[in-house]
Structure 1
Amino acid sequence: MSRLLLTAAGAALAAGPALAATGPFFSLGNTNFVVLIAFLVFVAILLYFKVPATLTGMLDKRAETIRSDLDEARALREEAQTVLAEFERKQKDVAEQAELIVEQAKRDAEAAAEQAKADLAASIERRIQAAEDQIASAEANAVAEVKNKAVNVAIAAAADVIAKNMSDQDASQMIDESIKTVDAKLH
């Protein structure tokens, strides 16, 4: 700092307007000399109160703060990149899982459709079989009913024919034969 004072004093002495002033230079009447003295006193006060050291300390402190902020920003950036990479990896995993789920759902839907077709075919086959069984049963019932009617008609016709052609003696002989047949079968 003392170099600075010497340089400032030398510059003040070598200055053109200072030489142009009238009268002796080292006089309180010379404004240039008064300004030089004031400047030197001002610089001396700054040095006495250690203003340059304080300013340097403040600048160093500010530089350290900026350095720590930069380090923190760098760390945050690295952390953000790590989080971004992890997020992208998770997003890729989720996309793959979603694709697998969709494929599985398609396979399940196809299997369900095939099963539904098979179930429908089996149901239709059962209904056709049930309808055929009902038709066969109705046909058998109709045939049995027709046979019963035919037997009843034949019995009625035979009874009429027998009643017209049979005598009392033939009737009592038939009754006796029927009693013997029933007696033989019961015992």
Structure 2
Amino acid sequence: MADTLQVLAAAAADHGAHAAAEHGAAVHVEPSLLGLAPYQWVAVSMLVLILIAVFGAKVHKTIAGGLDRKIAAIREQLDEAKKLRAEAEALRAEYAAKIAGAEKDAAAMVERAKVEADQIVAKAEADTTDMIARREQMAKDKIAAAERAAVEELRAKVATTAAFAARSLIAEKHGQAEDRKLADEIIASM
């Protein structure tokens, strides 16, 4: 189609140049397409547009209906976005409350842990004091038992030594005659 337009335009230009050469005066050549001048093409296109507007009223109704559907879809999307935003804000508020609750719980746990730690330290101190007292008492008891054992051992040694010394003295100073006399006294006292 572009080739046809170029051919027609070239033919019109040749025709105008040929006419100017015959008459000797400059001739103004109007462009034309399919034998119609530009103002005629504008008139034809306006006529077609008016005919479409008058008889093709369904076209603008279809276009308007399509636009209305798009508007309704956009409104629906906006409403859904508002709902989603409200839900998101509710979730944000809920999680903010949960975070605040968790912080309070954490603070309470720390406080309980401090109290329990203080109680454990106090109990440990009391247990340590009791254990030290028991161990001290056990040490005292062991020392007393060791002293008693040492005293008894010393008494036993002293008694053994005294008996040995007494036997030695008796053996030295007593003879058979004194033994008989002593035995007779013991028998008589019975």
- The bucket for the TM-score relative to the shorter chain is 0.7 to 0.9
Residue in structure 1 matching 2:92, options 84, 96, 99: 84
**Within the alignment, does 1:116 sit opposite 2:124 as a pair?**
yes
Letter paired with 1:73:
A
Separation of aligned partners in 2, 1:179 and 1:42: 170
Separation of aligned partners in 2, 1:124 and 1:65: 85
Residue in structure 2 matching 1:42, options 21, 40, 49: 49
Residue in structure 2 matching 1:52, options 60, 65, 68: 60
Match of 1:159 in 2: 167
Compared CA separation, residues 70 and 179, structure 1 to 2 (3 A): farther
After superposition, the CA RMSD in angstroms is: 2.2
Separation of aligned partners in 1, 2:129 and 2:36: 127
Letter paired with 2:109:
I
Match of 2:39 in 1: 32
Q: How far 1:36 moved relative to its partner?
A: 1.2
**Within the alignment, does 1:171 sit opposite 2:179 as a pair?**
yes
Separation of aligned partners in 2, 1:150 and 1:116: 49
Match of 1:128 in 2: 136
Match of 2:15 in 1: none
Q: How far 1:39 moved relative to its partner?
A: 2.2
Q: TM-score, normalised by structure 1?
A: 0.74
Separation of aligned partners in 2, 1:117 and 1:180: 72
Letter paired with 1:155:
A
State the percentage of identical aligned residues.
35
5+ residue gaps in structure 2?
1-34
Aligned pairs for 1:91-106 (under 5 A) are 91-106=99-114
**Within the alignment, does 1:107 sit opposite 2:107 as a pair?**
no
Q: TM-score, normalised by structure 2?
A: 0.73
Separation of aligned partners in 2, 1:92 and 1:104: 18
Separation of aligned partners in 2, 1:65 and 1:153: 125
Separation of aligned partners in 1, 2:44 and 2:187: 174
Q: How many equivalent residue pairs?
A: 155
